[in-house]
Amino acid sequence: MTHSAIAPNPLSIGQGLPPFDQIVPAQVEPAMTQLLSELEASLSQLEATVQPTWEGLVEPLQAIDERLRWSWGIVGHLMGVKNSPELREAYESVQPRVVEFYNRFSQSRPLYDAFKTIRNAETWSTLAEAQQRIVDSAIRSAELSGVGLDGSPKERFNAIQLELANLATQFSNHVLDATKAFSLILKDKDEVKGLPASLLGFAAQSARAEGETEATPESGPWRITLDFPSFGPFMQHSQRRDLREQLYRAFISRAASGEHDNSQIIEQILKLRQEEAELLGYKTFAEVSLASKMAPNVTAVEALLEELRQPSYKAAQQELEELKAFAVSKHAPEGSDLKHWDVSFWSERLREEKYDLTDEQLRPYFPLPQVLDGLFGLVKRIFGITVTPADGQAPIWHEDVRYFQIANAQGDVMAHFYLDPYSRPADKRGGAWMDDCIGRARVGQAIRTPVAYLVCNQTPPVDKKPSLMTFREVETLFHEFGHGLHHMLTRVDYAGAAGINNVEWDAVELPSQFMENWCYDRTTLFGMARHYETGEALPEEYYQRLLAARTYMNGSATLRQVYFSTMDIELHHRYQPGGSETIRDVRDRVAQNTTVLKPLPEDAFFMCLRTYLCRGLFCGLLQL
């Protein structure tokens, strides 16, 4: 009698490409429990035998860190792209122990002392620059993680880390749930007046996915959601002002009431961060955050923001007055009394009149496959690398995910990346991001090549048409690919300093901004912009109009970022949770000179800003 071998838990493999086709939520808890037990033993052994050398400290510590990051990183990635009640439950059951391990890892006094010995040794100058950066960052990270604390302050610091991790998870889940909880089902053709064919098709497809099996672009019903590929075009084109208002109010009040309310979560996050800062010897959490950034202090950040605020405020005022005058000239019922739900609509109408250009005119020229061809042609031209499809060579988490390979001019494989391009509001959080799946490192005599996740939320294919992208979606794809190149083209062989590792957060946007600007380059644009049905190149006049419209409403866009960034500073540097001033009071105070249309009373958009409240990245302008 033979017994079949029990298959290993795919989350316990610890290296290589994640086996996404084998992973289910029920595997998370047993895999992480076993892994953490093994890593705790490894860490104890390292602490007992540590030698203050690269080989005796950094390499074994890196091995421990990478094993945990491999397994827990996969779970975190799936929380963003394939969220489910089962996965949430598994994630939350394990998260406290993961946080406890990271606290122990970061607060190890034997390891901290060994790092300081390395830095103070005569051999310090013989280390490569990347090695020195890793050591310096490890020392700073340990100090910001409470390595200098003992007794009850240390216990309290660690309790705060556990609670903050739990609150962050709740925060993100509430945003996702609140976003997908709201939708408008439109059945009357009068309700969709002004909507372009692309949105009608998308809205009918969305309705079919929710059970309206007979929905068509021509006859409806149509489902409009708060997911941006639906929300954005509706606000730009709907002639029904009452529906624009309804959708806008729902959008800005997400996660601000009911079962998905983030209000108290934010208060608690801010309270705990302030307490954490004081335990570490800082006055505010903003100072803690800036300790690992390029910006030297809050004063410098605020000076930069004020330098941007003054011209952008004046420009935004002028832009709003121009919109009001334009609406009056078109005999709009609202006249010059424009509200928040009118701005996108009249901005789009004015852009059409000024530049004779619309997103709908451009969409047919930017199907995703051609945009990828243009992007890959660009990076071959400027970096000498070749990107080719590698679909089927890696397991994926959704059928729409693509897999690609990057090779250098000699044909050597340098990196791979996944591309998850489309919006999936049921289980995928909004926005766009790059994350590392595998980092570059020297392993023995070989180089481990990096693998990146590139995630967007663009308009999906509709009714057998390819994904026809707005120009903003094209820019977003180029932007995220810039982050990906930062990760994938690194030449650093030490994992702790390769790619985006140990790069200050107010610097990581440079490669992405660099790539985004190539969208306007003539060679790049005409290399990808062809009509998806006829193959016709983008007309020259469209290109000229696109260039002319490039800075349209830029004052308002810049001021919006200054508003968010200033709000971030105020909440993390001056606001006192539980004091006489509420977060909404802070919002109103900040808005006085950073908005030209003051926020509505129910505006709680900060309840949804994952990057600046939930993760605590002190962003200035760059991380929003």
List Cα–Cα distances, 394 to 16, 232, 299, 404, in angstroms: 10, 34, 48, 9
- Does residue 475 have an active-site annotation? no
The structural domain count of the chain equals 4
In a domain, 540, yes or no: no
The pLDDT of residue 2 is above 80: no
Cα diameter, the chain: 88
Question: In terms of domains, do 508 and 439 share one?
Answer: yes
Q: Say what the pLDDT of residue 506 is.
A: 84
Percentage of the chain surpassing pLDDT 70? 96
Q: What is the distance between the terminal CA atoms of the chain, rounded to a whole angstrom?
A: 61
Residue 537 lies in a domain: no
The predicted pLDDT at position 399 comes to: 97
Six-digit token pair at 242? 């009452």
Same domain, 422 and 375: yes
Q: Please check whether residue 168 lies inside any domain of the structure.
A: no
Which three-class secondary structure state does DSSP give residue 390?
coil
Q: 541: buried, middle or exposed (CB in 10 Å: 19+, 13-18, 0-12)?
A: exposed
- List, for residues 485-501, the tens digit of each pLDDT value: 999 999 999 999 999 99
Q: Give me the mean pLDDT over the 509-525 stretch.
A: 94
Q: Are residues 433 and 572 located together in one domain of the fold?
A: no
Average pLDDT for 455-478 = 95
> What pLDDT digit, counting tens, does each position of 190-227 carry?
999 999 999 999 999 999 999 999 999 999 999 999 99
> 272 and 235: one domain?
no
| Residue 603 maps to a domain | yes
Reading the block at residue 60, the tokens are: 């074994």
Indicate if 558 and 526 belong to the same structural domain.
no
pLDDT in tens, 350-408: 999 999 999 999 999 999 999 999 999 999 999 999 999 999 999 999 999 999 999 99
Residue 79 has pLDDT above 90, yes or no: yes
Q: Which of 234, 252, 270 is the last residue of a domain?
A: 252
- Cβ atoms of 367 and 468 within 8 Å: the answer is yes
pLDDT at site 8 = 87
Q: Residue 451: left if φ>0, alpha if ψ -120 to 50, beta else—which one?
A: beta
Quick one: 349 and 387 in the same domain?
no
H helix runs in 121-262, sequence order:
129-144, 151-181, 197-209, 228-237, 241-252
Question: pTM (2 decimals)?
Answer: 0.93
Task: Tell me what the pLDDT averaged over the chain comes to.
Answer: 93
Nearest to 538 by CA among 351, 354, 378, 361: 361
Integer-rounded Cα radius of gyration of the chain: 26
pLDDT tops 90 at residue 1: no
Q: Do 241 and 268 have their domain in common?
A: no
* pLDDT at position 131 over 50: yes
Band (pLDDT 50/70/90 cuts) for residue 578 is confident
Residue 5 lies in a domain: no
Q: Are residues 46 and 191 in the same domain?
A: no
Residue 87: pLDDT band (50, 70, 90) is very high
451 with 493, same domain: the answer is yes
Looking at the structure, do residues 231 and 301 belong to the same domain, yes or no? no
User: What is the per-residue pLDDT for 89?
Assistant: 97
CATH number at residue 380: 1.10.1370.40
Is residue 176 in some structural domain?
no
In the numeric block, which tokens belong to residue 365?
Answer: 């020229």
CATH code: domain of residue 582: 1.10.1370.10
pLDDT at 621: 34
pLDDT in tens, 602-623: 998 877 765 443 333 333 333 3
- For the segment 13-34, the average pLDDT, to the nearest whole number, is 96
CA 45 to chain CA centroid, Å, is 37
> In this predicted model, what pLDDT tens digit does every residue of 285-296 receive, in sequence order?
999 999 999 999
Residue 96 maps to which CATH number?
Answer: 1.20.1050.40
The residue range of the domain holding 480 is 363-531
Does one domain contain both 246 and 313?
A: no
Give the pLDDT score at 609.
66
Is there a domain that residue 208 lies in?
yes
Across the range 432-458, mean pLDDT stands at 95
Q: Which of 319, 480, 516, 570 is catalytic?
A: 480
Give me the pLDDT at residue 622, please.
Answer: 31
Q: Which of 252, 270, 299 finishes a domain?
A: 252
**Alpha-carbon distance 562 to 551, whole Å?**
17
> What CA–CA distance (Å, rounded) separates 133 from 22?
38
For residues 119 and 615, the model is more confident at: 119
Q: Is the pLDDT of residue 112 over 50?
A: yes
pLDDT exceeds 50 at position 185:
yes
Whether 170 maps to a domain, the answer reads no
Q: What is the pLDDT of residue 5?
A: 57
> Among 498, 531, 564, where does a domain finish?
531
**What pLDDT does residue 346 have?**
97
**Residue 416 in tokens:** 């791979």
Query: Could you tell me if 29 and 103 lie in one domain?
Result: yes
